[in-house]
Structure 1
Amino acid sequence: MRSNNYPETKRVDVSEEHFGHTIVDPYRWLENDVRSDEDVAEWVDAQNALTQRYLATLSGRDIFRERLAILLNYEQLTPPIKRGGRYFFTKNEGGDNQHSLWMRDDDGKDRIVIDPNDWSDDSADALGEWAASDDGRLLAFSVQSGGTDWRTIRVLDVDAGKMFDDQVHWARFTAIVWMADGSGFFYSRYPAPAEGTRATASVSNHAIYFHALGTSQADDRLVYSGRDKPAVLHIVDRTRDGRYLLVYATPGAGVNALAIIDLARDAWAPRNLIENFDAEWTVIGNRGDLLYLQTNEGAERRKIVTLDLALGKAEPVQLVAEDDAVLTNAALLGERLLTTYLVDAKTEIRRFALDGTPDGTVALAGIGSAGGFEGSEDDNEAFFVFSSFDTPMTVFRHDVAANRSEVWAEPNAPQMLRQISVSQRFYKSKDGTSIPISIVSHVDVTGPAPTLLYGYGGFGISMVPYYNPSQMAWVEQGGVLAIANIRGGGEYGRAWHMAGQFEKRQNSYDDFAAAGDFLKAEGITSANGLVIQGESNGGLLVGAVVNQRPDLFAAALPSVGVMDMVRYHRFSGGALWMSDFGSPDEERHFHALLSYSPYHNIRAGLDYPAILATTADTDDRVVPGHTFKYVAALQAADLGSTPKLVRVETRAGHGAGMPLDKVIALYADMWAIAAHWTGLEVDQNESDEIEF
């Protein structure tokens, strides 16, 4: 089958003036919701049909699909949360479309508590946030439908196995926090969106409410809101003793204000401890009125401090000083502070006494990442997880007093993991900055091989070693996986993050391009063997770098990417990202945003790599219109003969909650096109190729 034409995409006459620039936006109509706009739906159907016809010519797709189904078919557990002598955890027994919620009782037997796999015919409805009451008898949990960020919260009587009538709607970006007596729970929500605007509703007026069990949501008590700062998120937590409610207010990435509410007082009046957005503050535990916190205030790699609430004006007192390594997580467990530090993007667990005195380290199973501490201040039993590129996530039980760990749950690792080579290298970016990069391959790969380069580089999020069976399907076939720790992440603290923030974001793109140059110069990949992938902010990364260095890559896989940096803040949760990107409405940010915006910087006349952009119709975090407009612009430009395609999943969102069968299909399609254009020999018996 042959076709020389993409589906026709109409152009509309839309242009605007921004700070001396005329911005032409001919595909703005593709911003409309695909589920309600017939023209957009027809365009998506035609694009999906073309993409599927093309992918059907790549027989490696079936091999990847088969291997992904096998590699993803293993038992997966999260660290248990202990409530009332019961252990609650999520589990996938292997091959389930969705993780279920399980409980281990005093008798040591595991039983399933909530199974979302039969909630919908397509298994696209998932278990979201959940919390057990302090006595372990009640469970509040959220339902995520079709990948959306919106949540509906329900309540289960664990012993009776019966649902309460309570339903809480319009929760989003929320935790669920019980009152200590089980009388109800706290959560975060937005006002109900106007009819027909659920998918694109702005994120304004996020507030914390209390829902009393057995009452209507209309009677829920407003606990905290920031009406003077409508774009701020409000996240709720609680001290383990049940005394204080914790309110975190944040405009986005890396900074927050902090307030507490004394739940013993009827008024529930908030007391502001940190009122500005200059630093990050996280409560890690308390002993009565003494709070323990981690912060990067005056410590770019974080430190631990205390705040004495008994004092009229609580001032932070340093307990554990900033280190050369980056403090990433801390918890007060038993009579110790357990902390995780990043050393060149690898984890160490360090222990401290409650007075800040060092108390040794926790031995780990190897070089990788660890954390996810679960436990309480008054219990000697704690849990954490460990994972690495060649080690699936393993749950450890830690005896705090004895400083001894034992495996609590360990999945059966696929045999191929014993044949994986992992190394860390360093390379120089454009400005001479040294950047770490992890390289994963099969031990038999000794020369240049098709290489998948993955990156993120934003919001202070670190790329740490962890087991990703989807990526292992690429490695298993003889491909190399490379993960670059570019600036904009948090691998080296706040300064590393800020070096890829706002007007400095170009550093992230230079770092990523330099990683590609390094992989070729070192003979890790061949001249035409490099494919890049990234998701969300990483999709933006891929789109920006392809425009800047189209010669460097054979294929590119931007997923759920932010592609229009001029209008991103106008959709759904986009306004929250201004804390990292900057505001398009401010001239000092606008010029930088426009300089790398993937949609606006496509360079006609150059040969571009093959591109498969992926998104989903229910993504209300990065709306699919970003990807639709970007692909329409790619297809309209003269960019050579490689395909420029889009794959749009149905009943799926930004990634969380996607059922396993759709995950398998998605990665099989991405790896098939990557293998074809990089020369990875999965299967040479390919059908007639569609021409572009």
Structure 2
Amino acid sequence: MSAAVCTLMLGTLPVLAAEADGPPPARAVDVTDHLFGTTVHDPYRWMEGEHNAEFQQWLAAQGDDTRAKLDALPTLKSWQQALQKVSTTAVVHRAQRYVDGRLFFIREAAQGNGTLMVREADGSERVLLDPATLKDDGGHASITLFTPSPDGSKVAVNIDHGGNEITRMEVLDVKTGKPTGDAVEPVWGEFGADWLPDGSGFAYTQMAPPDQRTGGDPLQDMRLRMHWLGKPSTQDPILLRAGTGEGTNASFAIPSNYFPDIEFPTGSRWALGVEQGAAVEQRYCVTTQAEAVKPDAKWRCIVDLSDEVVDAAIHGDTLYLVSAHARSNGELLALDLSRPDASIKDERPILPLQGDDMIVNVSISDTQMVASARDALYVKVSRNGIDGIRRIDYRTNKVETVPMPLAGAASLFHANDNQDGFLLELRGWTTPPKSWRYDPTARTMRSLGQDEASPADYSMIEATETELISQDGTHVPLTILHRKDVKLDGSHRAIVYGYGGYGMSIVPSFKPVRLEWVKQGNIFAYAHVRGGGEKGEAWHEAGKGPNKHKGVEDFVASVARLSERGYSRPERTALISGSAGGLLIGGAVVHYPDKFGAAVFMVALLNPIRLAEEPNGANQFGEMGDPRKASDFPWMLAMDPYQQIRPHTAYPAIMLDIGLNDSRVAPWETGKFAARLRAADTSGRPVWIRTDANGGHGIQRSLGAEAAEYADVYAFLDAQLPVP
């Protein structure tokens, strides 16, 4: 069937009214708080808390009801077929690591959660670990992270058995593919093994026992332990600890809601200690590697959070820092650690940058900003969304620009200090990723032979870069994906995606499940709103905390911009966001409900004044604010979507998507928001909750699961966004 016929079929569907035969409304029992001179009403507080049987029963009924309604939508099957087709034919290679002639990587196909592979120097490939073969996990195990040892003979693998990102880290012998018997747990899935240069052991960031967690929060009070291969993990000493109690180190005190981590660079005698959290800035301390493996090590803390350092690397006696303190787009600094009194005040810039050159560029992709290889220091420099690599000679500080094989955004940039060169993957909005290893001796990029093939023909699609003008006159970048033959008559359905948190930039990414929406004659746009990092740290601060409403205004203005350009109309446009972007899309829904036609929430944070009561809540204080503080509470209340729902208001069509194993954002945030919105709404339009019993926060999921989710989203929007 031709694309034109499919577009015609989708365009003639009527708008579906909200179903009246759904599950009964949630009970409301108003809880009133008097906080910092403000009275706050919370009628659905009963939904909060873990192991809440009443809420879980209510949520299950919501999910069943939504599933039945989604299955009845006229275009669901056609979307399922189209998206599953591109997913089943796609093979994705990611997370590549090159060690001593071996290439380690994850190979992901449609229904799998990613298989750990190794390619030997002779080009032969074999499976190291397929999570589908693991027993007693219901078939839902996944690899969140893996870390090869410095010589490539072993690899530590983080295995998530429950979909909640809480992992068991196991060491595999690369030659045999069998476990060595070394294993530690529980480890949050983002923290890998920090190997010693000789491979005799590794440090790891372990979650605290349940009875030692502040407020019962699983992401508080973590401790950094040292594991020596061949010894029982029960004997692993604590090197650093967040919070108070056994294992704390007076020379490197870490708040309970931050995470201790460490690096042991091969090309240096120094160890780099890191205090990090859900924030762009990190704190760095140093000591010798010989000292660092001792529980009572004496650390020298050089970088504080106020120094706005977002990345660091060590080679020899030089500490390299990427800081946004003096320059919003970042600058590269160097510091001589051989000086016993060295401090951040002694740093010196070593990389000339011009105008829009940016090295502070945080994204979800697998990229470093500065990376110390054996031969040189490599730095990722972005300009107008296009990434390049600069090479800096350790001895002379001479800067060279590495020729790029094509213009694109780096979804992988990685180097390590026991190998020469670096790994690089570039992609575009409509261009599948291509990957290389840079050989500094030959000064050439060598293909990894893992270039992703497009699962379908998207040559009819192009990306238009433009700007919107926000409410306060700020110009905000807007990327619009559309067919080349699009008619600018406002007749098309449109989706606008935004995030606007943690200084995370939305960078070009090749996503067939989204391109299929465009291929059928629709629009998919990306709003680079304030709160992200597209224009440096200043752009992040401009949409953070008390400025959160600025990002919301940007998001809503993108709808008007699509209408001005003739791509769509507000009633035909939907907003999509999630996670911390819940504040963005939630703010748009509650403050501007008549400016767009629908909204889709994905595992969204929606009730920030209750962060202190939520698992993983305290970890968010650096970005979201601390609701227990009089200074933060007023603006947190103002940006709280749940608390800003207005009664007797007509709201757009809503679908809220959650994973029942989510350890980052509690499902009760979605439940509370949906229940209150339904009680306040006068439009009669849907407020549906889509649940995934096996899903978490969506960080690690199969291509098939992503396709299933977007099929539901597109069918829902077909039914809710009117077209001529």
What TM-score results when the alignment is normalised by the length of structure 2? Answer: 0.89
* Residues 6/267 of structure 1: CA separation in 2 closer, same or farther (3 Å cut): closer
Letter in 1 for 2:383: V
User: What amino acid is the match of 1:27?
Assistant: Y
Deviation at 1:163, TM superposition (A): 1.5
Letter of the aligned partner of 1:287 in structure 2? Answer: H
Cα deviation digits, residues 180-229 of structure 1 (max 9, x gap): 2222211112211149x999635322221111222222211111224352
Separation (CA, whole Å) in 1 of partners of 2:712 and 2:666: 21
Corresponding residue of 2:358:
326
Q: Do residues 97 (structure 1) and 112 (structure 2) align?
A: yes
Q: How is 1:137-156 mapped onto 2 (pairs within 5 angstroms)? A: 137-156=153-172
Shift of residue 86 of structure 1? 1.6
- In 2, the alpha carbon distance for the partners of 1:280 and 1:547 equals 33
Instruction: Identify which range, 347-356 or 461-470, moves more after superposition.
Output: 347-356
Which of 620-629 and 380-389 deviates more? 380-389
Could you tell me how far apart the structure 2 residues matched to 1:452 and 1:481 are?
Answer: 5
The unaligned stretches of length 5 or more in structure 1 are: 682-692
Which residue number corresponds to residue 84 of structure 1? 100
- Asked if 1:177 corresponds to 2:208, the answer is no
**2:99 & 2:384 partners in 1: Cα distance?**
36
Matched, 1:410 2:451: yes
Name the SS of the counterpart of 1:661 in structure 2: helix
Aligned position for 1:297: 325
Q: Distance in 2 between matches of 1:378 and 1:141?
A: 20
1:395 corresponds to 2:435: yes
Q: Which among 48, 57, 61 is matched to residue 42 of structure 1?
A: 57
**What does 1:659-674 align with in structure 2 at a 5 Å threshold?**
659-674=702-717
Q: In the alignment, is residue 458 of structure 1 matched against residue 504 of structure 2?
A: no
Give the aligned residue type for 1:241: G
Asked if 1:435 is matched to 2:476, the reply is yes
Following TM superposition, by how much is the alpha carbon of 1:624 offset from its aligned partner in structure 2, in angstroms? 0.7
Residues 246 and 586 of structure 1: CA distance in aligned 2, closer, same or farther (over 3 Å): same
Alpha-carbon distance change, 353 to 616 in structure 1, aligned in 2, over 3 angstroms: same
Counterparts of 1:154-165 in structure 2, within 5 Å, are 154-165=170-181
> Does residue 1:317 correspond to 2:348, yes or no?
yes
Matched, 1:526 2:526: no
**Which region of structure 1 is more displaced relative to structure 2, 63-72 or 97-106?**
63-72
1:514 positional shift? 1.1
Rounded to whole Å, the distance in 2 between the matches of 1:238 and 1:524 is: 52
Counterparts of 1:283 and 1:525 in 2: how far apart (Å)? 41
- Give the letter for the 2:285 counterpart: A
Report if the CA contact (8 A) 1:299-1:322 is conserved: no
Cα contact 2:201–2:229 (8 A) shared by 1? yes
Q: Is residue 430–residue 510 contact of structure 2 (8 Å, CA) maintained in 1?
A: yes
Residue 140 of structure 2 corresponds to 124
Task: Look up the equivalent residue of 1:117 and give its one-letter code.
Answer: A
| Contact 2:268-2:316 at 8 Å conserved across structures | no
SS in 1 for 2:581: helix
1:617 matched to 2:660? yes
CA distance in 1, matches of 2:54, 2:435: 49
Normalization by structure 1: what TM-score? Answer: 0.93
Q: Does residue 599 of structure 1 match 2:609?
A: no
Q: Distance in 2 between matches of 1:253 and 1:537?
A: 12
* CA 392–67 in structure 1, closer or farther in 2 if over 3 Å, else same: same
2:234 to 203, 218, 234: 218
Match of 1:497 in 2: 540
CA drift of 1:489 comes to: 0.7
Deviations 1:267-314 (A, max 9, x none): 472432425211343665443222333222322211112221211122
Match of residue 274, structure 2, among 248, 251, 254:
248
1:584 to 2:627 alignment: yes
Q: Mark the runs of 5 or more structure 2 residues left unpaired by the alignment.
A: 1-17, 244-252, 362-368
Correspondence for 1:542 = 585
Distance change in 2, residues 1:80/1:6 (3 Å): closer
Query: Take 2:420 and 2:402, find their aligned partners in 1: how far apart are those partners?
Result: 16
Equivalenced residue count is 676
Q: Deviations over 1:4-41 (max 9, x none)?
A: 454231122411111222211121121233xx333122
1:191-206 correspondence to structure 2 within 5 Å: 191-194=208-211, 201-206=217-222
Q: 1:400 to 1:282 in 2, by over 3 A?
A: farther
Percent identical across equivalent pairs? 26
The code of the aligned residue for 2:454 comes to A
Q: From 367, 373, 384, give the equivalent of 2:413.
A: 373
Q: 1:346: which partner in 2?
A: 386
In the superposition, relative to structure 1, how do residues 517 and 112 fare at CA in structure 2: closer, same or farther (>3 Å)?
A: same
**CA displacement at 1:321 relative to structure 2:** 4.1
Q: Which secondary structure state, in structure 2, belongs to the residue aligned with residue 348 of structure 1?
A: strand
C-alpha deviations, 1:394-436, integer Å up to 9, x for none? 2112222444224322121134222211110012111111100
CA distance in 2, matches of 1:404, 1:161: 32
For 1:365 and 1:680, how far apart are their aligned partners in 2? 39
| Structure 1 Cα separation of the partners of residues 423 and 19 of structure 2 | 56
Q: CA deviation at 1:107?
A: 1.7
Shift of residue 347, structure 1, vs aligned partner: 2.5
Q: Residue 485 and residue 111 in structure 1: after superposition, are their counterparts in 2 closer, same or farther (change >3 A)?
A: same
Name the CA distance, whole Å, in 1 between partners of 2:240 and 2:216. 24
Q: Is the 8 A contact 2:193 2:202 kept in 1?
A: yes
